[in-house]
Structure 1
Amino acid sequence: MASANLAALGGKRSLRVVVIGDAGTGKSSLVVSAATDGFPEDVPRVMPPTRLPDDYFANRVPITIVDTSSSPEQNPNLITKCQSADAVVLTYACDRPETLNHLGSFWLPELRRLESKAPVIVVGCKLDLRDEEQDSLEAMMAPIMEKFQEIETCIECSALRQFQVREVLYFAQMAVIYPTAPLLDQNAQILTTRCRRALKRIFILCDHDRDEALSDVELNDFQVKCFNAPLQPAEIASVTMAIKEKLAEGVNDNGLTLSGFLFFHNLLIRNGQLETPWTVLRKFGYDNELKLRDDLLPAIKRAPDQTLELTSKAIDFLRGIFNMFDTDNDGALLPAEIEDLFSTAPENPWSSHLYMNCAETNVLGGLSFEGFISKWSLMTLLHPSNSFANLIYVGYSGNFGSAFTTMRKRRVDRKKQQTQRNVFHCYVIGSEGAGKTAFLQSFVKRQPYDALPVNGERFAANIVKLADGTRKTLVMQEITEGDIESLLSDRESLAPCDVALFVYDSCDEFSWQRTKDLLVKVVAHGKTTGFEVPCLIVAAKDDLDRSSLALQDSTRVSHDMGIETPIPISARVNDLNNIFCRIVHAAQQPHLSIPETEAGRTRRQYRQFLNRSLKVVSVGAAVTVVGIAAYRVYAARKNASS
């Protein structure tokens, strides 16, 4: 039990309880009394941090109590202590009502301003001086607790009488090990969304026969897994009967339903029996934020130019999940079906702006299996740990190595002049107004400015069907003109890129000049850092009046750099598959489209000249050696004949 409770502290060796409140409310007396089980007359104004014995409580979780000063000059120190607290004990004096009022007008708002995440235990000290005619603790605290959900509990104590001093620290410890806030919305008295989602996943994992109910056998297996003790038949019958009396749909002929399972845990939490649901949640790998613990998600070691891709096993699993949640069998998942699919995850990972309209959907907003896999591929490309966590949340039981393949370094691909990748990352770069956004939207068959995120990165992901029948996933990321400086400030910023696409407005010579500047900067950055990328130039808006000067100069630049001539496109033309295939081909043969700068070309020519010179020298040296050898043979024969 001790190790499990220490794990709940997030790897900390000791629980830090910080005591704050108005001057004279009994903070230091509380600390001394807790540490000594006594009440000395001469109490220091502020106690130093005090470590309680490890056996202070039966669970042997170490506790350090940190006293604080309320004087204004100590405010920076107070802030630091509050921000490092695991739990905050907020004191008021039972004989001074103004100190209680100050909790709601100053202390609790101040903790919020400091963005303290620690649970708060409100403690009325000096209970021995309390006026008997005062309202009850519940009546006094109800308005404050309703306004400040971070308050876990309230208690009154007397350091002088040694009354409920240990209980103060017990409640502080329990508030950290078994916090209420992640589990219960105290205003509505219902389970939080994350708690409900986690318990739903646990229910599904325990429902071995998939009949949407936990039988007596399954309930007993659940009990043994979580608490290492079986349930007697009478105990199971008692629990299910109690649930059925309160919630008719909580039990059916097959056993305990999901509704009943959630109701039972809600009841435990509302009754203050937090240890039981937290034991269940932690047994299934959840931390205090109701996410999978970090130790269950392996650290990913890879070079900057290495990426991960889904294995065929993971894709087959996702195909099964897709079909399971495609309840109307129309070959597409509607937004509601996507939400249902991720209802066992802490939240829908695709609600982030990164995934907004990044894949092709039908007129009803339905996501095809190709679009579904494209989104998973994008998530794996950007955040492989998050991708694996969400695989687990939706039911994947394999390990990390069975779900992902680490691809070869891109630099190695370029040296070997081929790649084994199936997912390619393309940076779409260009001047403002060049048509980048419209190009990305056309890739996923959307209108150019259809519900795009106003700020943040923009992605488009789709499957590209090549002429040889193979399919590759292409992920395109828009890089705005204003983002280039920030991008190139990172030495490894080009490492994840398989191909860079430079888009300019073919009707605007100035657009080409700005895009050319971006091209030169990116190429120079790649040469400097060693992360060179294949580059293509795209002349957008080809259906309008083109600038002949822009066309001529862009053609000259592409020739000078040794890359393809600019590719004319129009986002108004629906069939752009050719350009997407060309992007994939450039990524598949990365050595063919690496731009060459003038300085690089000079160095290459010099190396070629040097190599030719060395060859001439080598041939001359070889001829000389052969001549000397022949002369020696001739001289030897002449001497022999004479």
Structure 2
Amino acid sequence: MVVWKNTTDGVQDNGLTLNGFLFLNTLFIQRGRHETTWTILRRFGYDDALELTDDYLCPLIRVPHDCSTELNHFGYQFLQKIFEKHDKDLDGALSPAELQSCFRVFPYVPWGPELYHTVCTTDKGLLSLHGFLCQWTLVAYLDVHRCLEHLGYLGYPIFSEQDSQVHAITVTREKRTDLEKGQTHRNVFLCKVIGSRGAGKSSFMQAFLGKNLAAQKESLGRQTVYTINTVQVNGQEKYLILQEIDVELEFTKVSDASCDVACLLYDVTDYKSFNFCASIYKQHYMDGQIPCLFVATKSDLPQTSPQRSISPAEFCYKQRLPPPIYFTCNSHGAPNSTVYAKLATAATFPHLNDIDLGAASFWIRVALGATVAAVVGVTLYKAVAKNK
């Protein structure tokens, strides 16, 4: 009532406008009630220097070894509201100006131009809601403290009426427990894409965003070592992160090979590229529990045959690995996404490391067939013996 009586635009829809809020605090200060204004500021996370405190921006979160961090449904709901708030033209996408408006409360721009090569965009090259949520999922997985900071700038604790933005994050259980139980509750998986230079790693990652070779050549801008999208695994939506690995620079210690699934990429026109992947597999993955898939790129081109070495299919068979998956992004439409679903499935069921799910069902059918044949054989034998 005080604001309404003393201003012409201080109250709107039974709430305070910016001018009304400023008038009210000016009134407090003029009447010597400075502590009231400071109480308001501190409620919104500000310290005595009018800077957001570390306790507000970076609340304590404990992430045990071998666990990962994901946004939960509270976080996704909040981010969807943020997206819709800044989608002024209601076209289902954020233009550069709308995205800049979203980050206006940040002291820096958190996402660079590589964003448009990291997530899916609309036909016009704008950031869709799907791409927006994928980018947040990526940040939450790779750097949860940065994600919490960003959520703090957007006011998650205030709008969600929670103590901190940790409320928007789920810390998964240890991967060791997932392996013991034969199942996982994780929704986000990391796949390292490994291969020699020229094997097609960058093209493979951009194809994950639905871009064929022609679209990739037209796409300008800075490339990225990460791409993220969703895939279906047994009817459930999972987030799959692809990370392009430069083995010569990044495989300096054992932990560098750590991931949820390894994609060993080789060029069918260059057998040396397969030898490179086979060497990486033997060195870093053969004795571990990380599922691996060999992917043969440029499958639309003639395949070279090994002179003296075994073929990729024979190598995979001997190592009890699924056979190589053939892939090309030199297609008219969007590249085939089957390979990405297989990678996500392998990550979701790591205890099936030595056989792929298709092979598993095959051997189940073989076992059932053998059982039926045995029963029939015993029955015939008894019948013949009885007649004798």
TM-score by length of 2: 0.75
Q: Would the alpha carbon gap of residues 568 and 293 (structure 1) be closer, same or farther in structure 2, given more than 3 Å must change?
A: same
Task: Give distance in 2, aligned partners of 1:209 and 1:494.
Answer: 57
Equivalent position of 2:18 in the other structure: 213
Equivalent position of 1:538 in the other structure: 295
Larger radius of gyration between Structure 1 and Structure 2:
1
Q: Would the alpha carbon gap of residues 223 and 569 (structure 1) be closer, same or farther in structure 2, given more than 3 Å must change?
A: same
Counterpart contact for 2:261–2:291, Cα < 8 Å: yes
Q: Which has the higher contact order (CA 8 A, sep 6+)?
A: 2
Counterpart contact for 1:220–1:230, Cα < 8 Å: no
Task: Say if 2:283 is the partner of 1:521.
Answer: yes
Select the residue among 437, 443, 446 that pairs with 2:208: 443
Q: Would the alpha carbon gap of residues 488 and 481 (structure 1) be closer, same or farther in structure 2, given more than 3 Å must change?
A: closer
Residue 302 of structure 1 aligns with an amino acid whose one-letter code is: V
Please report how far the alpha carbon of residue 463 of structure 1 lies from its aligned counterpart in structure 2 after TM superposition: 1.6
Equivalent position of 1:453 in the other structure: 222
Pairs within 5 Å for 1:360-509: 360-397=120-157, 398=162, 399-446=164-211, 447-448=215-216, 450-451=219-220, 453=222, 458-466=225-233, 468=235, 470-483=236-249, 486-489=250-253, 491-495=254-258, 497-509=259-271
Task: Give distance in 2, aligned partners of 1:285 and 1:395.
Answer: 9
Task: Give distance in 2, aligned partners of 1:212 and 1:459.
Answer: 42
Question: What per-residue deviation string (whole Å, max 9, x for no partner) do you get for residues 273-329 of structure 1?
Answer: xxxx99997774357998643222123322332111111111111111111111111
Q: Would the alpha carbon gap of residues 520 and 278 (structure 1) be closer, same or farther in structure 2, given more than 3 Å must change?
A: farther
Counterpart contact for 2:151–2:165, Cα < 8 Å: no
Question: What per-residue deviation string (whole Å, max 9, x for no partner) do you get for residues 591-614 of structure 1?
Answer: 11259xxxxxxxxxxxxxxxxxxx
Question: What per-residue deviation string (whole Å, max 9, x for no partner) do you get for residues 170-198 of structure 1?
Answer: xxxxxxxxxxxxxxxxxxxxxxxxxxxxx
Q: Would the alpha carbon gap of residues 289 and 514 (structure 1) be closer, same or farther in structure 2, given more than 3 Å must change?
A: farther
Pairs within 5 Å for 1:95-494: 212-215=17-20, 218-219=21-22, 222=25, 229-232=28-31, 284-286=44-46, 292-296=52-56, 297-351=58-112, 353=114, 355=115, 357-397=117-157, 398=162, 399-446=164-211, 447-448=215-216, 450-451=219-220, 453=222, 458-466=225-233, 468=235, 470-483=236-249, 486-489=250-253, 491-494=254-257
Q: Would the alpha carbon gap of residues 334 and 488 (structure 1) be closer, same or farther in structure 2, given more than 3 Å must change?
A: same
Counterpart contact for 1:314–1:404, Cα < 8 Å: yes
Gaps of 5+ in 1: 1-205, 236-276, 596-642
Task: Give distance in 2, aligned partners of 1:507 and 1:298.
Answer: 51
Q: Would the alpha carbon gap of residues 507 and 300 (structure 1) be closer, same or farther in structure 2, given more than 3 Å must change?
A: same
Task: Give distance in 1, aligned partners of 2:12 and 2:140.
Answer: 29
Please report how far the alpha carbon of residue 553 of structure 1 lies from its aligned counterpart in structure 2 after TM superposition: 2.2
The root-mean-square deviation of aligned C-alpha atoms, in Å, is: 3.3
Question: What per-residue deviation string (whole Å, max 9, x for no partner) do you get for residues 183-214 of structure 1?
Answer: xxxxxxxxxxxxxxxxxxxxxxx999677533
Question: What per-residue deviation string (whole Å, max 9, x for no partner) do you get for residues 481-519 of structure 1?
Answer: 323xx3342x43344x11110100011111111121122
Please report how far the alpha carbon of residue 425 of structure 1 lies from its aligned counterpart in structure 2 after TM superposition: 1.0
Q: Percent identity?
A: 31
Q: Would the alpha carbon gap of residues 223 and 389 (structure 1) be closer, same or farther in structure 2, given more than 3 Å must change?
A: farther
Q: Would the alpha carbon gap of residues 327 and 308 (structure 1) be closer, same or farther in structure 2, given more than 3 Å must change?
A: same
Task: Give distance in 1, aligned partners of 2:67 and 2:284.
Answer: 20
Q: Would the alpha carbon gap of residues 588 and 207 (structure 1) be closer, same or farther in structure 2, given more than 3 Å must change?
A: farther
Please report how far the alpha carbon of residue 348 of structure 1 lies from its aligned counterpart in structure 2 after TM superposition: 2.2
Please report how far the alpha carbon of residue 549 of structure 1 lies from its aligned counterpart in structure 2 after TM superposition: 2.6
Task: Give distance in 2, aligned partners of 1:352 and 1:288.
Answer: 35
Task: Give distance in 2, aligned partners of 1:561 and 1:289.
Answer: 62
Please report how far the alpha carbon of residue 427 of structure 1 lies from its aligned counterpart in structure 2 after TM superposition: 0.6
Counterpart contact for 1:428–1:478, Cα < 8 Å: yes
TM-score by length of 1: 0.47
Residue 213 of structure 1 aligns with an amino acid whose one-letter code is: L
Counterpart contact for 1:494–1:533, Cα < 8 Å: no
The alignment partner of 2:149 has SS state of: helix
Task: Give distance in 2, aligned partners of 1:518 and 1:209.
Answer: 65
